[in-house]
Chain A
């Protein structure tokens, strides 16, 4: 079973990111469970969302405590929230940042990748919602879910122009990571 924890601020589409990943995994024939850290958080407050992916039915309902992957949608959280807690030593962190991994103040044995998701989102979608970019980058690096599956999931949830723009952002992220 793979566990992913997504960190972000309210309004960045953290819960949607978790949902989309779970729907994409489902389309890939896997079992998936996605849920937010439930709270009274509002726009701008730190939030978390979780995804589990497995080849067999997922029965557990505990919080995700030892994630294999972290997706950090807002790098300012690194200083203020214990984002690294429980991360597996050989895990991977995907950070929304225009700086290279070495410049982020993250002390870990896990691998770190960065991508300027907010900038790309602003350019392609016109709104600073980084989730599609982050998922695209994440899928590219990990191969955990097929990009096509995510694309379908996005179009199911956001039909029309919004979906198309998000898919474009998804693909751009994928291209960028593939080139590295």
Chain B
């Protein structure tokens, strides 16, 4: 049923419909509404689950790790500092191949303290062995959670569903919430592969000396690569069952005729689409390549979609300090070296710490890269706040 609701509430409703057995989370802005809504759903007995109010994110992740290792479908949610605090456990969960689903309400990282949106948090854990999916809007945010449980339980890789904090979590917009039966039909009950069980004693989380560790990482890496098939299948199945496109590897908008392609992910693609339509009326052909699955990285898709495109600009809400745009690096790497020579791939860093990204700034970005490539630029930088020596 289509409802006008807050993004967080949509996520809580669909997560509840996925029938998790154990939910454990620690409140952190801007994820709080998801957790509060879920605790009410559990409190009102609309979902039969254990809701464990823990004392920190580190414990929240540890609780879901234990729950999953005991055979439960487990869920947690966090942002920013919370994600970093649980980073040890996040790596553990992947290494243990536990199919946990986590919502990351993307938020900037201290210091300085910022409660506002950017994607530095999930980016900081991109190497941990979790599948990372990015939602464009609140409909996709809800849909991706349903897909996430299915993907996780087929691949035995944990899945992080990323949605821009505040911009999506706290926005009211129309979201089609499915019926419980539809979700039940789509998502079978969890069949764990390895659990702690006195009937079948096994050790989970042993230590691996140099004779064995390398292979575990190889297996995990290959599993991530192979999960591409599952991600695409589940997205296709979802479209068949629920009647709309969401998830998958990448999506494109007005790409075929485009002279300039913008690559981005998350909620900003909405603004980009508006810009593209405006530019089209002005006679300019700009297209969008929107990344949904950031990990595993859609390298082949990007290459094949943009093989003949010579002007590309990557817009991202993240940065590798001392190196440059993270998504930009990933995109630049997607093209064989020989083919890169004539191709411009510009990098823009935007929206950090919740800085608004007005359509006019994006227009400026397009006009700039139409003239010349940009190695790296911070969109909307306020030079007046920066001392000369720091420029």
Contacts and interface: CB of A to CB of B under 8 A. Distances in A.
Any A–B CB pair closer than 8 Å: yes
Interface of A: 18-19, 22-23, 25-27, 31-36, 38, 40, 58-63, 65
A26 B3 CA distance: 8
A65 B358 contact: yes
Closest 4 CB pairs of A and B: A26-B4, A59-B270, A34-B172, A38-B166
Nearest to B277: A59
B171 A34 contact: yes
B252 interface: no
B268 A61 contact: yes
A151 to B, nearest CB: 15
A35 B5 CA distance: 11
Nearest to A18: B172
B173 interface: yes
Nearest to B359: A62
A94 B164 CA distance: 32
Given A31-B174, A62-B358, 4 more contacts: A26-B4, A35-B167, A60-B274, A61-B164
The main secondary structure of chain A at its interface with chain B is mixed
Given A38-B30, A62-B358, A33 B172 contact: yes
B6 to A, nearest CB: 8
B354 interface: yes
A60 B359 contact: yes
Contacts of A34: 171-173
A112 B358 CA distance: 28
21 contacts: A22-B4, A22-B172, A25-B4, A27-B4, A31-B174, A32-B173, A35-B171, A35-B172, A38-B116, A38-B170, A59-B137, A59-B271, A59-B273, A60-B274, A60-B359, A61-B167, A61-B270, A62-B356, A62-B357, A62-B359, A63-B356
Contacts of B171: 33-35
B267 interface: yes
B64 interface: no
Nearest to B113: A40
A16 to B, nearest CB: 11
B271 A60 contact: yes
A168 to B, nearest CB: 23
B271 A35 contact: no
Nearest to B4: A26
B271 A19 contact: no
B270 A60 contact: yes
B115 interface: yes
Nearest to A32: B4
Interface residues of B, number: 25
- Looking at A25, A31, A33, A38, which has the most chain B CB atoms within 10 Å of its CB? A38
Contacts of A31: 173-174
Contacts of B170: 35-36, 38
A4 to B, nearest CB: 13
Interface in B2-40: 4, 6, 30
A61 B117 CA distance: 12
Interface of B: 4, 6, 30, 115-116, 137, 164, 166-167, 170-174, 267-268, 270-271, 273-274, 354, 356-359
Contact of A59 (B115, B274, B356, B357): B274
A36 B7 CA distance: 13
Contacts of B166: 35, 38
A19 B172 contact: yes
Contact of A32 (B172, B273, B274): B172
Nearest to B275: A60
Given A35-B171, A61-B267, A40 B115 contact: yes
Contacts of A63: 356, 358
Nearest to A59: B270
B4 to A, nearest CB: 4
Nearest to A57: B174
A144 to B, nearest CB: 15
Contacts of B4: 22-23, 25-27, 32
A49 B120 CA distance: 26
B188 to A, nearest CB: 33
Contacts of B115: 38, 40
Contact of B173 (A33, A38, A62): A33
Contacts of B356: 62-63
Contacts of A62: 271, 356-359
A3 B359 CA distance: 15
Of A27, A33, A40, most B-chain CB atoms within 10 Å: A33
Contacts of B116: 38
B252 to A, nearest CB: 15
A58 B116 CA distance: 22
A111 B268 CA distance: 33
A32 B115 CA distance: 25
A18 B267 CA distance: 20
A63 B267 CA distance: 13
A61 B174 CA distance: 14
A23 B3 CA distance: 8
B12 to A, nearest CB: 16
A60 B137 CA distance: 10
Contacts of A65: 358
Contacts of A61: 164, 167, 267-268, 270-271, 357
Contact of A26 (B174, B268, B270, B271): B174
